[in-house]
Amino acid sequence: MKRRAFLAGMAALSAAPAHARELSWVATHGHAGFLTAQLYPGAGLTLHPEGLTENIVALTFDDGPDTAYDPEIRRILRAYGVPATYFLVGRNAQRHARLAGEIAQDGHEIGNHTWSHRRLIHCTPEEQAIELRRTNALLETVTGRPTRWFRPPFGSYDDHTLGIARAAGLETILWTVDSQDYRDHPPAVIEERVMRGLTPGAVVLMHSNHAGTVAALPRILERAKDERFRFVTLTEWKAQMERAAA
């Protein structure tokens, strides 16, 4: 009976449309506001950044680990005493497992960015589940820690994705500031895009596989410090946001 129910469930998932409706505000607008549905979809937390008692910012890096640029990003973060959250692609972490482990050992938080960086609205629910669970298993093996956070590639998700992430023990988070470093803008342009968007509670999107990110990062960290911002991991960001909403 259980086997028949399981097979029936898998058949239903496989039959779901492969090109589902886009539900992500970020995927269509570029960045989120401080609305739970836009930034932290599926969470039971109402965001009140105006209630924060200090100017926290969550700095996040997608698409690694990357052997060309991550070592220098790690060095810069270490020099400035800044923690970050890295959303790693599973197949990259498998290929560069030692580097993934070193990023975690530096004290940075590790998030799930799917196995193969597919746009999830083009995947069946079954394929989405495989992307997340396979990556979770690999990251826990490499880092020795369970993974808490998930960011869908391109910020894109459909009406199945959030539930699949929750079933895998993951919370979905997007961003309020898009550096657009992936467009290979000059470092000064990346720097200004980030600094214009910095507000208390901001979540900054960068990528650890672009040269412009490395070049822009020191000035971003210096200017943010001068403006009294403090960088935190996403787990601390959530704790502070919970206190702000209390």
**Count of residues in the chain:** 246
> Is 0.75 topped by the overall pTM?
yes
Average pLDDT of span 212-219: 98
State residue 2's pLDDT score: 35
What gap in Å lies between CA 32 and CA 221, rounded to an integer? 22
Q: What is the largest CA-CA distance in the chain?
A: 63
Phi-psi region of 107 (alpha: psi -120 to 50; beta: other; left: phi over 0): left
Catalytic residues: 62, 207
CB 94, CB 138: distance < 8 Å: yes
pLDDT above 70 coverage of the chain, percent: 92
State residue 3's pLDDT score: 43
- Cβ neighbours for 29, distance < 8 A, ≥ 6 positions apart: none
Please, which contacts does 236-243 make with residues 24 or more away whose CB atoms are closer than 8 Å? 236/56, 236/58, 236/83, 237/56, 237/58, 237/201, 237/203, 238/45, 238/171, 240/52, 240/53, 240/54, 240/56, 240/201, 241/45, 241/47, 241/48, 241/49, 241/52, 241/201, 242/45, 243/51, 243/53
Which of 113, 122, 125, 68 lies closest to 86 in space, CA to CA?
A: 113
pLDDT at 16 over 60: no
What gap in Å lies between CA 111 and CA 132, rounded to an integer? 11
What gap in Å lies between CA 164 and CA 159, rounded to an integer? 10
Average pLDDT of span 186-204: 98
Q: How many CB atoms lie within 10 A of CB 163?
A: 13
State residue 20's pLDDT score: 80
| Amino acid identity at 223 | R
State residue 19's pLDDT score: 64
pLDDT at 232 over 60: yes
Question: Cα dist. 11→7, 15, 233 in Å?
Answer: 6, 6, 39
Average pLDDT of span 170-174: 98
pLDDT tens-digit profile of 31-87?
Answer: 999 999 999 999 999 999 999 999 999 999 999 999 999 999 999 999 999 999 999
